Amino acid sequence: MADFELTKHLRMPAATKIVQLVMDGLGGLPREADGKTELEAADTPNLDALAARSQLGLAMPVRPGVTPGSGPAHLSLFGYDPLAYDVGRGVLSALGIGFDLHPEDVAARGNFCTIDENGLITDRRAGRIPTEFSQKLTALLSQIELPGIKAFVQTVKEYRFLLALRPTQGQTLYANIADTDPQKTGVPSLPAVAEDEASEATAQLVNEWIAAARDILKDHAPANSLNLRGFAKDPGFPKFPDVYGLRAAAIATYPMYKGVAKLVGMDVLAVDGEEVEDEVETLRAHWDAYDYFFFHVKKTDSAGEDGDFERKAGVIEHVDAAVVPAILDLDPDVLIVTGDHSTPSALKSHSWHPVPTLLWSRYCCWDGVHEFGERTCGRGSLGTFPATDEMQLALGHALRLNKYGA
Amino acid sequence: MADFELTKHLRMPAATKIVQLVMDGLGGLPREADGKTELEAADTPNLDALAARSQLGLAMPVRPGVTPGSGPAHLSLFGYDPLAYDVGRGVLSALGIGFDLHPEDVAARGNFCTIDENGLITDRRAGRIPTEFSQKLTALLSQIELPGIKAFVQTVKEYRFLLALRPTQGQTLYANIADTDPQKTGVPSLPAVAEDEASEATAQLVNEWIAAARDILKDHAPANSLNLRGFAKDPGFPKFPDVYGLRAAAIATYPMYKGVAKLVGMDVLAVDGEEVEDEVETLRAHWDAYDYFFFHVKKTDSAGEDGDFERKAGVIEHVDAAVVPAILDLDPDVLIVTGDHSTPSALKSHSWHPVPTLLWSRYCCWDGVHEFGERTCGRGSLGTFPATDEMQLALGHALRLNKYGA
């Protein structure tokens, strides 16, 4: 049976509410001192009490041993197998900076680079120019005009930028275009080559834009040229509200997570501030209007990426105190507490480790373990399970799935 | 995504070393006296200490309830789903006796049988003639000459032998040929019938060889005829070093295991002796030259097959003392201790029980359970998992996989 077909077949309406609380990069690794992970070391009385009445498990974002990026990791939590639902790099770049990508846009990831007097690439990253310098260049490139096209150019970070082409006269653009980056130095950039007939006109436009851009950049060494990679359009995934029959809202403060939520058709709610308390306010204000909330906490991941065990544990403690009781006060029917992936401070990066996860509902056969941590989840009754199962488990526990067969 | 495509896409170089220590038939069953399995009854201080800093689980070789042969069980440990990567019986016979099968060879498993004066089969196993008698017959059959073909005939055991046809004039042989064994008595053998057009010439050669062989055998009752089964060629599987990006070496003392390792493209290292200490010497001598070592221990399985609980526990104790510390002294980055399948002494045979498995790396979120055994592994955080996942988990823990998606 195709993806989502069973879910769409069985789902039924109900007046129940589901919250998926995602602490980004939640999973961690033991520290030397006492063998505790960040989550285990954190003092989390509310999560521990909740765990005692929940099922515990470890959620695998992609496949065993595989470390996910943020986009694939979130798609997985929303029930979309990231190997089947592939988002092009251009679209991920747009999501990452909160660019309002339209379905008709073609997006690409751009890299400034350095070329010598013969046009051969000498540095594929233009000496990693500072973001401020990059922003001046993308402002200049934004002035390029193409017939029937609006070309958006925005800095991502350092030498990386986003190019998005939007048709203004109803024409259709196609994104099956090869990278111009030859992936090595000492050779010239490649032209943008269409990989199917439909994409030829778009590739031609891209080449015109590249020529104009290089003309502008030629005096801005080390960023005196550029390459484009990962041409892509909005992949047109099945929409989350349609798949699950849920009015769905996303509460997040960072562009990437709002972007992925938007990609699957959730309403992205405005948050007045950057703190989890502000996100809780948004949740309260919209509680009645939605059936499902994706509630994203960013700072666990940032602390893990910085290798700061104590700070990561502190963020978890803060969520335990400021978010968990507030959500429970709203009386949800299903609450899942999880992460999109692990970000152990020991590794200072995303990792492949499956993520501690708790599923609470009044109809769950709770494990009765009074602690939410990697080790208790590793012995939990959910086992090590694909993160893509979470939404369907949530629907079941929310009494939103009909019986299969008579 | 096809098998290995994700792995090949994500793998990256690293200066890390992986050891997969395979105790053949490791898994066992509880004895009456104290309910302990062979592994649990064995005194294994080194494995227990390692377990405390490892993730534990039970590895399933094929599918629930399915008992694997040695070939499929090892393919699974190497990451090849044995249902998808099927090795013909002829090739397995060749591997099992250490025959140097070439890619152009066609191999078949042969059985001596008894026929009556009308050519009807009366015993499909020729009264299970002794191996020594069989060896005299295969020596005679080795003298058969076919045009453009070298025909190798070697005894496997008792009435079973290997036939391998090797083209000597550059021609191609094909193996899509039906068995000649009618699988019952009272009927004549079938001719070798090609099941596609390409295999017709080879089938004709086989029939010529059979005719010559029967002429030799006619006076050697009860082995006065023969049948051929499982015609096959080297299946040309993806090569392990290419799939995983690892310089891979196999250390084993028995032909079958060297053969399976060779089939997936590992270097098979010479071992000077038959003991695990000799294998350790080989590991030490080649440590710098490889990234991955398959280290095979045979005697656990032999003891299990003999139904000897104490001896099997003793072999495990010997590995604990003589192999585990020696491997750890070499400072690997990832060490997996597992088996290819279970061989409980209570059953005196291979079994379907998933296999106790331990994964150690400096980046594993260890379960903290100070005992390596079936029961602790059954509660471990790896859960009951497909053995085919082991290599991808190892690559992740060896920091040899790039992030999937941004």
The per-residue pLDDT for range A81-122, each reduced to its tens digit, is: 999 998 888 898 898 888 989 999 999 999 999 999 999 999
Among residues B163, B150, B141, which one has the least CA distance to residue B223? B141
Selecting from B55, B393, B404 the residue whose C-beta is nearest the C-beta of A67 gives B404
Query: A71 at the B interface (CB within 8 A)?
Result: yes
Q: How far is A170 from chain B (nearest CA, A)?
A: 31
Interchain CB distance below 8 Å, B6 and A35: no
Contacts of B395 in chain A (CB under 8 A): 65
Chain A residues touching B381 at Cβ < 8 A: 58, 374-375, 378-379, 384
User: Which of B:245-304 have CB within 8 Å of A?
Assistant: none
Q: Give me chain A's average pLDDT, please.
A: 95
- Taking the CA of residue A29 and the nearest CA in chain B, the distance in Å comes to 5
Nearest-Cα distance to chain A for B361, in Å, is 12
Q: Using a CB-CB distance cutoff of 8 angstroms, which residues of chain A are in contact with residue B379?
A: 379
Q: Residue by residue, what is the 3-state secondary structure of B76-108?
A: HHCCCCCCCCCCCHHHHHHHHCCCCCCCCCEEE
Instruction: DSSP for B125-175, please give it.
Output: TGGG--HHHHHHHHHHHTT--BTTEEEEEEEEETTEEEEEEEESSS-----
- Contact state of A384 with B380 under an 8 Å Cβ cutoff: no
Q: Check residue A89 and give its pLDDT.
A: 83
**Rounded CA gap, B231 and B164, in Å?**
9
Contact A69 B405 (CB under 8 A): yes
Maximum alpha-carbon separation in chain B: 75
| Distance set, CA A281 to CA A201, A286, B7, B243 (Å) | 48, 9, 43, 50
pLDDT at A183 over 90: no
Tell me the pLDDT of chain B (406 aa) as tens digits.
567 999 999 999 999 999 999 999 999 999 999 999 999 999 999 999 999 999 999 999 999 999 999 999 999 999 999 999 998 888 988 988 889 899 999 999 999 999 999 999 999 999 999 999 999 999 999 999 999 999 999 999 899 999 999 999 999 999 999 999 999 999 999 999 999 999 999 999 999 999 999 999 999 999 999 999 999 999 999 999 999 999 999 999 988 899 999 999 999 999 999 999 999 999 999 999 999 999 999 999 999 999 999 999 999 999 999 999 999 999 999 999 999 999 999 999 999 999 999 999 999 999 999 999 999 999 999 999 999 999 999 999 999 999 998 6
Instruction: Determine how many CB atoms are found less than 10 A away from the CB of residue A242.
Output: 13
> Tokens 């062989």 label which residue?
B213
Token code pair at residue B167: 């083209």
Chain B residue with the nearest C-alpha to that of A350 = B403
Judge whether B380 is closer than 8 Å to chain A, CB to CB: yes
Write out B339-396 in H/E/C secondary structure.
Answer: CCCECCCCCCCCECCCEEEEEEECCCCCCCCCCCCHHHHHCCCCEEEEHHHHHHHHHH
**Does B385 contact A at CB distance below 8 Å?**
yes
Instruction: Give the global pTM.
Output: 0.90
B405 touches chain A (CB under 8 A): yes
Calculate how close chain A gets to B397, using CA atoms only, in Å: 7
Find the closest chain A residue to B402 by CA distance: A67
ipTM for this model: 0.88
* B55, closest residue in chain A (CA to CA): A378
The partner residue sitting opposite B405, judged by closest CB among A64, A71, A378, is: A71
Contact B404 A87 (CB under 8 A): no
| Residue B6 at interface with chain A, using a CB cutoff of 8 Å | yes
| Chain centroid to CA A55 | 26
Q: Indicate yes or no: CB of A93 within 8 angstroms of CB of B406.
A: yes
Please indicate whether, in this complex, the C-beta atoms of A65 and B385 are within 8 angstroms of each other: no
Rg (CA), chain B: 23
Q: How far is A183 from chain B (nearest CA, A)?
A: 15
Residue to test with chain B: of A352, A382, A385, most B Cβ within 10 A: A352
Please report the residues numbered 30 through 69 in chain B whose beta carbons come closer than 8 angstroms to any beta carbon of chain A: 55
Residue A93 at interface with chain B, using a CB cutoff of 8 Å: yes
Distance from CA of B179 to the nearest CA of A (A): 37
What pLDDT does A2 receive? 64
From residue A263, alpha-carbon distances to A70, A241, B296 in Å are 13, 12, 49
Option in A58, A92, A379 nearest B405 (CB): A92
Q: Which residues of B touch A386 (CB under 8 A)?
A: none
One-letter amino acid at A299 equals K
Q: What local confidence, expressed as pLDDT, does residue B24 receive?
A: 98
Q: Which tens digits make up the pLDDT trace of B48-89?
A: 999 999 999 999 999 999 999 999 999 999 999 999 999 888
The size of the A-B interface in CB pairs under 8 A is: 89
- Looking at residue A378, its pLDDT comes to 96
